[in-house]
Every structure is written in structure tokens, then in C-alpha cells.
Chain A
Amino acid sequence: MTEPLVVMQGILKDFPGVHALVDCRFELLPGEVHALVGENGAGKSTLMKILGGVYKRDAGVITYKGAPVEIPNVANAQRLGISMVHQELNLMNHLTVAQNIFIGREPRAHGIPLVLDEGGLNDLAAALFERLHLRLDPTRRAGSLTVAGQQMVEIAKALSFNSSVLIMDEPTAALTDTEIDELFRIIRELRGQGVGVVHISHRLQELKQISDRITVMRDGRYIDTIGTADAKIEQIISMMVGRTIFEAVPEVPEKTNPEVVLEVRNLNRGSAIRDVSFSVHRGEIVGIAGLVGAGRTEVARAVFGADPIDSGEIFVHGKKVKISGPIDAVHHGIGYLSEDRKRYGLALGLSVETNIVMASLKRFVSRLGIVRSALTRSAAELQVQNLAIKTPSLNQRVRNLSGGTQQKVVVGKWLTADTEILIFDEPTRGIDVGAKSEIYHLLNALAHEGKAIVMISSDLPEILRMSHRVVVMCEGRVTGELTAAEATQEKIMTFATQREAAA
């Protein structure tokens, strides 16, 4: 039997108020793709961050290539040959693609210690992209790339270390199917070269495709490791949640409530949004599908007033409204749940309670300007119960919660603000199976209550499962609209790739 590359045993990690990891185990063989799964907050990222030198363990042993090692920081991990692609994008937006990839190991001009060789740097990056068959411009500023482009830069960066161990924390969350295929091709190539790849993902179908073994974690504990070939998805899910859940596809009720709540007409903004029109009825979920960069988020932000528009009209309940900023949008009952919760959806350093009442604080303030804490407390309490927000207390800082729980806090915020129109941008991005079906239930319940919901998603099964109607976008335009009955993955993809030349 081959000697394992990495063995982690008895790993323990405490964060303030939480046992993040208790007696965790993990083993990685050379030339294996090892999937790590578990619900949000199960400790997958934490365990891998310990291996990647981001966190220090409180107890336990790590053996690397047969010898016990200490990994006090990231530079150390990289020297050992362990590199990691993080769940959150971690790029320096002002620097170029090449500067980002080789930060900390820039080639020196003529061997002079501190002087950098920019040309050599760009050549290195170009050679790397060549090797990986990526089309990226080394000299482009990272901040000007799309999310998917930035993700590819992160992956290219991790691969540039020629590491023996590559950890990928949800690398596919922002990628399209073609890009995922590309990534998997690269992963298979690395596996052939004897690299050990750790793949954290919530897309279980995807793991069946790419992984050799699957380790399941739950509540900071190791549950089991099984060979992918023998594993059934239902079995993995039940190990993840500790119970068997039935993931039956619910019927999408064919609703024909005539009341139009939100109507957008001929919205334009530069080349990002071109003549976009759509409407949402009461109690309806309208899915907006399209590839990354199709302009879906841009439309959402424009409707919410976060970005200025060049032209176009927005009607709420048939009345034309002027939305020149989020304040107007909230006033007209529109709430926006950003795809990037941490940056645009939450005040991470503040408590669950403060975040929940954030968008409606006016209601909780007495005439003298004093916050009525009993009222905010009960309002927050209500959402924590309704949405089953897993938090030790209302005072917990949102930063310390898992991704799915954070998403629920954002939902709670908008529900507290009594919004009638909710725009969800990738509501289940980076959220695990158990929490996903909870979010789906929630969306259905909200629609049932009569809210008008816009759901942007790159996950086609999700679009098909949830939407009453599907609006498909490509390159800033609406290229098609389908009812739930008409919509299929193939039809959506046809519209989503209907570029202008072909139209």
C-alpha cells in the first residue's frame, strides 16, 4: 500500500464559544482526489485551513510524507508543498493577474536581491496559463476580471506552486459547466502526476464525477471515509445530516395570480444591461438564469438602486417609481440578497440581532432616538426561530457563523423590513445540502405568503426546481422567457448562449 501524503489525527480546534473541531481525522494519499463533505459549520474549511497553515491547531498530530510537521503559517505550508484555494476570493484587485499569482516569489531582475523583473514575471504567468490551457491575460488588473475569472486566477495560483497537496475549498461555486470541466481536466492531470487533491464541495453529483474517496464530517467531528465508487448520494447525505432526509422534487404550483408586483421596462446600463424587461407577479418565483457575466447581478443591483442606470422604468404595483438608491428601493419594499453576503449583505463584526434589524431600525427607535432593545430582541428572536438560524445567542457576531447560517440572517433582515419583493442573488451559493433544502422551503413559503421573488442562480436544477417562470439572460440582454412547464436545461442553455451574432 502506498504511504499516505498527509495524516491528520486527533485534531482539535476551539474558537471563542465553539468547539470547531473535536478529535478529527483525515488521510490523503498521493494521486488521489479526496472529497471532504459536510454541512455548513461541520468544520471542513477549518480542518483544511489547519493543514494550509492559516489556523493553528490546539491539539493533534499532522504527519506529512511520513514525518510529523508543524505548519505555523501559510508560507510554511507552501514550502512544504501544500497549497490552498480558499472559498472566498483572496485577490489583490489593484495588482495584475501575474502579480497576484507570484506574490511573494517574484523573479528578481538580473539576480539583484530586491529589484523585480516584471517582464520575467509576466512570462512565468503566461507559461503557467499555457500549461493549464487557460486564457488569461497576465497583465490585466485582477479587479477587472469577472468572479469566474478571479476564481481561475486563484486556482492557477495554487497550481503554480507545483505542490504535492492541493486543497480546494469550493472551487466550483462560481464556475460555469465548461469551466468546471476545465478544472476537472486539470485535477485529473494532477492526480496522474501523484498530487493529492482535497476537494471540498457541496455539489455531491460533482464529487461522484471527480473524487476517489469521500470523507464526511459533521459538527466538527470525523464521521467516516468511504470509496466514491461504493457510495450512494443518499448515503452520503444521511451521514452528513445524521438522519435520512427525503429530497423529493416538489411540484412547482402553476400559479396565475394576475397581480404584477414588480415590472422592469427597458432597463439600460452601459454594455452590462441592454434593454432588459421583465415582470414578477404576486406569489411568484421568477428565476433568472444565464452564464456568469450575463448581467444578472447587474440587473439586480440596478433594480435595487445600488448602481445608477442610463435609462429604463421600474413599476411597483403598477405605479412608476424612481429608485435612485437602496433607500428608495427599501422604501418601495424591495430587498436584495447579494451573492457576496460577506461584503454586501452583513456587518460581520456585529451581532445577529443588530444585523436582523439593520434594514428596519427606524421601526425600533423611540421618538428620542433611543433603540428599543426589547423590541429588536423579540424581532430578532422571531426570525431566529422562524428560519431556524443556528446561533448560540442573538449576541453572537455574524462573522463566527457558517455560510448557510449567515445567509439566513440576511433573509431575516429583509423579512423584518417587511419587504414585498425579494431579489435573491445565488441564494444557495456555498451552502450545503441540508441548509439548501431549508432555503428552498423558505423560498416556497415566502412565495406562498404572497411575496414576489426574483431568484438569480447559476445552478440549473435549482432554477428548474424553484421557478414559476425563467428569464434567461446572455451578454446583458434577455434572450428568452420560459414557463415552468416549458423549461428544460437544454432550452435554458440554448438561450443562455445565444450571443448577439447568432440572434
Chain B
Amino acid sequence: MVRSDFLQRFLAFGALIVLILFFQVWCVLIGTNFLTFENFVNILVATAVVGIMALGETFVVITGGIDLSVGTVMTISMVMTAVAITSQHLPVPVGILVGILTGGLMGLANGVLIARFRIAPFIATLGILNVARGLSLVITQTRPIYFPNNPEFQSGVMGNLFGLKISGEFGFPNIAIIMFGAALVAAFMLGKTALGRYTFALGSNEEAARLSGVNVANWKMLVYVVCGLFAGLAGVLSAARLGSAQPATGFGYELSAISAVVIGGTSLSGGEGTILGTIIGAFIVYVLTYGLQFVNVAQEWQIVVTGGVLIAAVYIDNLRRRQRV
């Protein structure tokens, strides 16, 4: 079992390397270079928001559920952060907290619908997806909110570690450090805490967990809250990155997040998954998106490829499980 886990992670990691080399060959053929520090930084920055979202999604998928709302929950968190900082004139740290908690609140809504009212996760989170999306548009009156008075918010998140520049204008971006930090927290929660243990237990055999005296409903609710909190953090970072809250973004990000989770080896049927896998999965998704953009493939085609990758990942997940029977 341990060996196959290792193999799985190695497989995703191997795929990432192959993908990078693929783009490098493509770039050489058209006379440019893919393996530059600039591209490395750009990919890190591009991966961070959805990468963090995917961390929370990993918990949900391991329980055998799915959260389709992470994309627009990210949006409403972004909007609430902006509202707190601009129209309410609250300090930036409070605005950040408001954003993260908004995500947690939306996660709680998902959790209550799923664990208490026993609505199928697919439908419950699809509903919340639209609730969050609509609320974002209502609150902002469909217009972006900018932060002209708080440049430190954007520079803090998008700046470099210790302000160091490694190559030209580029240093190691703080947003990537935040992602790796969040990943460590998530890995600890999944591997070492009661929440993580019950996340696996729910996905492996929910009835067995119930018969063992585990409060299945509460833990499941908490898993969705955790997922919402990560989406909230993603929203805060997204607001900082864009220097504004964009009420029309976010929709569709959930597919990238779910792709990252599944590519990373987390089984859609529940019971198994890793945070490291999800991070590698997120990089695969964004190396692919960024790479296609870099070699000038039309954006419309990038969307098609993203959909194809999700389907391929789920198919590989099926194959993997069939082998084990």
C-alpha cells in the first residue's frame, strides 16, 4: 500500500516534469526558452490562488464529497475583504480576517445543507455556488472595488521574500510562500489531527464511523467549513493580487481546483488522498495553462484543454482503483 502511494505521487511528479520538458521543447522549436526564472515565478503566482483552494477541496473529496462552490466562495470573500477595507475603513488585517471568515461561513452553509439536511454535496454546493456568485454581484453592484488607499495590501502579498530580487525584477514571491505555508498547515491537519482522521474515516466507510460512535454530521460539517476557509484565504490573496475585488471572476476556478485534487491522486470515491499530491496537481494544471499561453495557443483552446485534463484525471483515477481490486 505504501509503495503504491509512493508510486502515485511519483507518477504525478513525473507528469509535472514531463510537462515542463514538453513546453521547453516546444519553446526551443519556436525559438524561445521556457525554463526561465521569470516563468517559474509567474507559474508560482498563477498557481497560488487555486492551489490554496484545492487544499480545502482535498479534504472534501477525501470524505467522498465534492465542493463546487469554492470558485465563487473565493469571489465573495474577495468582495467582503474589499468592502471591509474600503467602505468600512477597517484595517487591512481585519479585512483579511473578514475575507477568510466569509469563506468559512459559506462552507458552514454547505456543511449544514449536506450534513444536516442531507442534500447531495453536488447539488448543495451547486446551489451555494450561485448564491455566492449572485451575492458578490449584488454587493458590488457588479462593479469592481479597488483599494487605492491601501497599496501595502497588494505589495505585501505580491512582493518578494525579504524584498530580495533573485533575477532581474524577480524574487521569490510572498504569495507562493503563503501557499506553501497553507499546504503545510493542511498536511498537518490531514495527517496528524482528529479532523484529518475522520476525514479519511468518512470517505472510507461513513456507516462504520457512525457505528463507532463518531459524530459523523459534525465532522462532515467541519470539513466543509475548512474547505470554505481555504477558499476564503484564496479570495483574500486574489484581491491583493489583482489590487481589487472583481465580482465576475472566480466562476470556473472550482474545476481547476478539483482537477488539481484528482490529478494529485485523491480518489473521487473517497478514503485516500494527500496534500503533496494536490500541490503537484495544482502545478500541473497551471504549468499547462501558463505553458499554452506562453506558446501562444488561443485562450479558447486553453479552456478546452483544461476540461480534457479533468476528464483524463478522473479516468486515470478509475484505472488506478480498478487495478487494486
Name the contact of B194 in the complex, choosing from A84, A90, A106 (C-beta under 8 A).
A106
Question: Is residue A99 contacting chain B, with contact meaning CB distance below 8 A?
Answer: yes
Residues in A with CB closer than 8 Å to B304 are: none
Question: Is residue B215 contacting chain A, with contact meaning CB distance below 8 A?
Answer: yes
CB neighbors of A among B186-234 (8 A): 192-198, 200-201, 203-205, 207-215
Residues in B with CB closer than 8 Å to A274 are: none
Nearest A residue to B196 by beta-carbon distance? A116
Question: Does the CB pair A86–B211 fall under 8 Å?
Answer: yes
Question: Does the CB pair A95–B200 fall under 8 Å?
Answer: yes
Question: Does the CB pair B208–A92 fall under 8 Å?
Answer: yes
Question: Is residue A91 contacting chain B, with contact meaning CB distance below 8 A?
Answer: yes
Report the minimal beta-carbon distance from A117 to chain B, rounded to whole angstroms: 9
Cα–Cα distance between A157 and B209 once the two chains are bound (Å): 13
Question: Is residue B57 contacting chain A, with contact meaning CB distance below 8 A?
Answer: no
Cα–Cα distance between A437 and B193 once the two chains are bound (Å): 51
Nearest B residue to A306 by beta-carbon distance? B325
Question: Does the CB pair B271–A103 fall under 8 Å?
Answer: no
Question: Is residue A75 contacting chain B, with contact meaning CB distance below 8 A?
Answer: yes
**Chain B's interface: helix, strand, loop or mixed, by majority?**
helix
Question: Does the CB pair A90–B207 fall under 8 Å?
Answer: yes
Question: Is residue B1 contacting chain A, with contact meaning CB distance below 8 A?
Answer: yes
Residues in B with CB closer than 8 Å to A74 are: 210-213
Report the minimal beta-carbon distance from B124 to chain A, rounded to whole angstroms: 21
Report the minimal beta-carbon distance from B47 to chain A, rounded to whole angstroms: 28
Name the contact of B193 in the complex, choosing from A84, A94, A114, A144 (C-beta under 8 A).
A114
Cα–Cα distance between A426 and B277 once the two chains are bound (Å): 41
Question: Does the CB pair B204–A92 fall under 8 Å?
Answer: yes
Question: Is residue A69 contacting chain B, with contact meaning CB distance below 8 A?
Answer: no
A 83-124 binary contact with B (CB < 8 Å = 1; else 0): 010100011111100011001101001000011101000000
Question: Does the CB pair B194–A93 fall under 8 Å?
Answer: no
Question: Does the CB pair A116–B194 fall under 8 Å?
Answer: yes
Question: Is residue B272 contacting chain A, with contact meaning CB distance below 8 A?
Answer: yes
Nearest B residue to A52 by beta-carbon distance? B211
Residues in A with CB closer than 8 Å to B194 are: 106, 114-116
A 210-230 binary contact with B (CB < 8 Å = 1; else 0): 000000000000000000000
Question: Does the CB pair A116–B192 fall under 8 Å?
Answer: yes
Question: Is residue A191 contacting chain B, with contact meaning CB distance below 8 A?
Answer: no
In this complex, the member of B194, B207, B208, B210 whose beta carbon has the largest number of chain A beta carbons within 10 angstroms is B208
Residues in B with CB closer than 8 Å to A104 are: 209, 212-214
Question: Is residue A201 contacting chain B, with contact meaning CB distance below 8 A?
Answer: no
Nearest B residue to A141 by beta-carbon distance? B1
Question: Does the CB pair B205–A91 fall under 8 Å?
Answer: yes
Cα–Cα distance between A404 and B213 once the two chains are bound (Å): 29
Question: Is residue A54 contacting chain B, with contact meaning CB distance below 8 A?
Answer: yes
Report the minimal beta-carbon distance from A478 to chain B, rounded to whole angstroms: 24
Question: Does the CB pair A116–B193 fall under 8 Å?
Answer: yes
Name the contact of B209 in the complex, choosing from A77, A92, A118, A307 (C-beta under 8 A).
A92
Cα–Cα distance between A90 and B198 once the two chains are bound (Å): 15
Nearest A residue to B212 by beta-carbon distance? A103
Report the minimal beta-carbon distance from A369 to chain B, rounded to whole angstroms: 27
Residues in A with CB closer than 8 Å to B207 are: 90
Name the contact of A54 in the complex, choosing from B200, B211, B214 (C-beta under 8 A).
B211
Question: Does the CB pair B213–A75 fall under 8 Å?
Answer: yes
Question: Does the CB pair A115–B325 fall under 8 Å?
Answer: no
Residues in B with CB closer than 8 Å to A100 are: 208
Question: Does the CB pair A106–B272 fall under 8 Å?
Answer: no
Question: Does the CB pair A103–B209 fall under 8 Å?
Answer: yes
Report the minimal beta-carbon distance from B92 to chain A, rounded to whole angstroms: 29
Cα–Cα distance between A249 and B198 once the two chains are bound (Å): 51
Nearest A residue to B270 by beta-carbon distance? A94
Report the minimal beta-carbon distance from B189 to chain A, rounded to whole angstroms: 8
Report the minimal beta-carbon distance from B217 to chain A, rounded to whole angstroms: 11
Nearest A residue to B1 by beta-carbon distance? A141
Residues in B with CB closer than 8 Å to A99 are: 197, 201
Question: Does the CB pair B205–A92 fall under 8 Å?
Answer: yes
Nearest B residue to A74 by beta-carbon distance? B213
Question: Does the CB pair B1–A144 fall under 8 Å?
Answer: yes
Cα–Cα distance between A84 and B197 once the two chains are bound (Å): 22
Question: Is residue A78 contacting chain B, with contact meaning CB distance below 8 A?
Answer: yes
Report the minimal beta-carbon distance from A331 to chain B, rounded to whole angstroms: 22
Question: Does the CB pair B208–A94 fall under 8 Å?
Answer: no
Q: Which 6 residue pairs of A and B lie closest in terms of their CB atoms, listed nearest first?
A: A75-B213, A92-B204, A94-B271, A90-B208, A94-B204, A74-B213
Q: Which residues of A contact B (CB under 8 A)?
A: 54, 73-75, 77-78, 84, 86, 90-95, 99-100, 103-104, 106, 109, 114-116, 118, 141, 144, 157, 307
Give me 27 A-to-B residue pairs in the complex whose CB atoms sit less than 8 angstroms apart, sorted by A's number.
Answer: A54-B211, A73-B213, A74-B211, A74-B212, A74-B213, A75-B213, A77-B213, A78-B213, A90-B207, A91-B205, A92-B271, A94-B203, A94-B272, A95-B200, A95-B201, A95-B204, A99-B201, A103-B201, A103-B209, A104-B213, A106-B194, A106-B197, A114-B193, A115-B193, A116-B194, A116-B197, A141-B1
Q: Which residues of B contact A (CB under 8 A)?
A: 1, 192-198, 200-201, 203-205, 207-215, 271-272, 325
Other than the known A74-B213, A90-B207, what 7 A-B pairs have Cβ atoms closer than 8 Å?
A73-B213, A74-B210, A90-B205, A91-B205, A94-B203, A103-B214, A104-B209
